[in-house]
Structure 1
């Protein structure tokens, strides 16, 4: 029992000092030092959260809605990348950036002069907001895919790891 308490307090001490990482990085996590920036400034409100479907063909919300913002508001690249798509999907202008490492982010409704193959830098204005996604406000729908799977975009701009409570003694 004493050995167990000693081992526990040693592990907890290492956790507090940052010597050991216990949480496995989530699929949404980005490498340290490679944090993305918010595509809207100032930091927007989250109007609708990421709510992926259980199966790829089911309905869900495969991104986040950010805002409210206004028509013509600038949208910026959250990280360096290359424009993979710029055009209209159904009835909305969409811009998709390939960030490398099998990551692609999409923004709608965003009007842009960029075209496929253009290089963008983190923080660069990539387009302007248009109405059409949120019914009661102008908002930005931001989605991120890793390969074919949608992941939570907020994991690239916020620390989404669960909090760990440590004992006081």
Structure 2
């Protein structure tokens, strides 16, 4: 059982990091587990993108929130963020979805997409798994990138080390 002091410290860390307290977010901070998820070497599932909508943890398992991040990419290619096995590639409620099981309880979902892989395919980080499609709840032209750890949604940016640094380009 968690002590009230430990719970308070976990919530304080989550709030300071900009993550609302939720059951999903606290599961990554259990004793004995690797809490430096960014060290796993995941990559962004799209290249040259704009972060359209960030992760918003729900107050409880069925509460409102945004259980992933939406990215507006410069190209239609959608890549595997880490090594894994495609658990699902197909259509759900009229939109294409690719789900990758990365092991250790980590599962990625990418949507709306047109899969270029099939269930059971072994993928490596950076392999193309789909092309961006229309539909779903993400802004038009954006891909939704969700990650679950042991069944609970977590902020994908925990695995990526945050948002890449902006690079100013010369104009004119």
Return the TM-score normalized by structure 1: 0.70
Asked if 2 retains the 8 angstrom alpha-carbon contact of 1:69 and 1:137, the reply is no
Asked if 2 retains the 8 angstrom alpha-carbon contact of 1:96 and 1:104, the reply is yes
Moved over 4 A (4+): none
In structure 2, C-alpha distance between the alignment counterparts of 1:159 and 1:47, rounded to whole Å: 14
Residue equivalent to 1:62: 67
Structure 1 residue 35: Cα displacement: 1.4
The structure number with the bigger radius of gyration is: 1
Between Structure 1 and Structure 2, the one with more helix by share is 2
Asked if 2 retains the 8 angstrom alpha-carbon contact of 1:80 and 1:120, the reply is yes
Residue equivalent to 1:149: 152
Q: Confirm or deny that 1:51 pairs with 2:46.
A: no
Structure 1 residue 136: Cα displacement: 5.2
Q: SS of the counterpart of 2:158?
A: helix
Q: Figure out how many residues of one structure are paired with residues of the other and give that number.
A: 131
Unaligned runs of at least 5 residues, structure 2: 1-27, 30-34, 164-172
Asked if 2 retains the 8 angstrom alpha-carbon contact of 1:37 and 1:122, the reply is yes
Unaligned runs of at least 5 residues, structure 1: 1-25, 161-169
Q: SS of the counterpart of 1:138?
A: coil
Asked if 2 retains the 8 angstrom alpha-carbon contact of 1:77 and 1:126, the reply is yes
Structure 1 residue 58: Cα displacement: 1.6
In structure 2, C-alpha distance between the alignment counterparts of 1:144 and 1:89, rounded to whole Å: 17
CA RMSD of aligned residues (A): 2.1
In structure 1, C-alpha distance between the alignment counterparts of 2:159 and 2:109, rounded to whole Å: 14
Find the partner of 1:140 among 119, 140, 143.
143
The change in CA–CA distance for 1:68 and 1:76 in structure 2 (over 3 A counts) is: closer
Structure 1 residue 69: Cα displacement: 4.3
Q: SS of the counterpart of 2:37?
A: coil
Measured against aligned partners, the alpha-carbon deviations of 1:47-83 in whole angstroms (never above 9, x if no partner) come to 101002111112211000001546xx10011110000
Structure 1 residue 113: Cα displacement: 2.8
Residue equivalent to 2:15: none
